[in-house]
Each structure stands twice: as C-alpha cells, then as structure tokens.
Chain A
Amino acid sequence: MSFLPYALAAWLFFVGLYGIVTSRHLVHLVVCLGVMQSSTYVLLLAIGYRTGKKAPIFTSGVPTKVGAVDPVVQALTLTDVVVSVVASALILALVIEIWKRSGKLDPDELGKQET
C-alpha cells in the first residue's frame, strides 16, 4: 500500500503519454502534456513526505516538536507549477499559428503532403 503514490506517478505519466500518442486534436495534446507534468509533481511531493510530520510553516503558535516534511521538494514544485502553465501557453500560441496557416488541427492530417 505504501507504493501507491509512486504507482500514481507512473500511472499519470503513461496515461498522459498514451493520450499524446493517440491524440486527434492539437489542443487535446497540450492538455495531455499537462497531465504528464502533474505526474512529476506527485512524484516529487511523495518523495519528500515524512509520515506524521506537518507542513514546513512555523508561524508562532504552531507546535514545533512534531517536525515537518521536506521543504526543498515543495520549493521546486511550486515554481514548476507556475512556469509550466506559461510554457503550455507558448505551445498553444504555436498551435494557433499552425491553425492560421493550414486550417487543420489533426496531427495525422498535418503530416500528410498536399499534392
């Protein structure tokens, strides 16, 4: 049972990858890429978790004897979440340009040569 978070990370990764490979719409592809990115967040946070410990915020009044989970992986993940949406916006801008030039949004059709 304690393998479950890591299994979730692997599951999300492969489900997203399957979605990308069998995608018929470029915007659907971008969202499946987002699902693959969320698998890395889950993996990072699952690695840093310590059983029974609390969040690494020590505002006055919070008992400090319990201890806290690892803060380094949380710092990495939170900047990652915001930057990944900006990178997805860049990919969507590329998709809009592709649509403007060719009018097609199906990855299979885009690869075919026009005769």
Chain B
Amino acid sequence: MIPLQVVAIVLVGLGGLAVVAARDPLRQALVLGVYGLTLVILFVVLQAPDVALSELVVSTVAFPFILFTALAKMRDRE
C-alpha cells in the first residue's frame, strides 16, 4: 500500500469522526463539505475517477444546499 493511500485513509477516518462529533447542524454541514473532499481524494487514490466526480458534485453542492435550506427554514420559529 503506497503512503498516499494510508494518508487518504487516515484523513477520511478523522473526517468521519469530526462530522459525527459536530453536534450543531450548521457547523456539521460545513464539516460535511470538507469530509466529502477527503472522500474524493481517497476515491482518486483508489483509481476511481468516475466515483470521485460523483462524490465531488454531490458533497460540495447538492447535499450542503438541501441541508442549508432545510436549516434556514426551521430556524424561523425558534
């Protein structure tokens, strides 16, 4: 296993832990964007460019967008 793969795997592991540990949903949405990018690095290192492209467009735009609009909607009444 080349060192780049070990680094990518460790980054993804730490990123997953950070996503779960961020209890406030707003902060968690931002950490999720970074976690998605670490996943993209791992997928590229595992020789899967199509999957990396999918994960890139999904985790940088689509998922944070629906999270932010849902949170902004539910912030009203509070």
Contacts and interface: CB of A to CB of B under 8 A. Distances in A.
- A contacting B, Cβ–Cβ less than 8 Å: yes
A35 B20 contact: yes
Contacts of A35: 16, 19-20, 35
Contacts of A15: 16-17, 20
Contact of B12 (A19, A24, A42, A53): A42
Query: Interface extent on A, as a size class?
Result: 35 or more
Contact of A19 (B1, B5, B20): B20
Interface of A: 1-2, 4-5, 8, 11-12, 15-16, 18-19, 24-25, 27-28, 30-32, 34-35, 38-39, 41-42, 45-46, 49, 51, 53-55, 57, 68-69, 74-75, 77-78, 81-82, 85, 88-89, 92, 95-96, 99, 103, 105
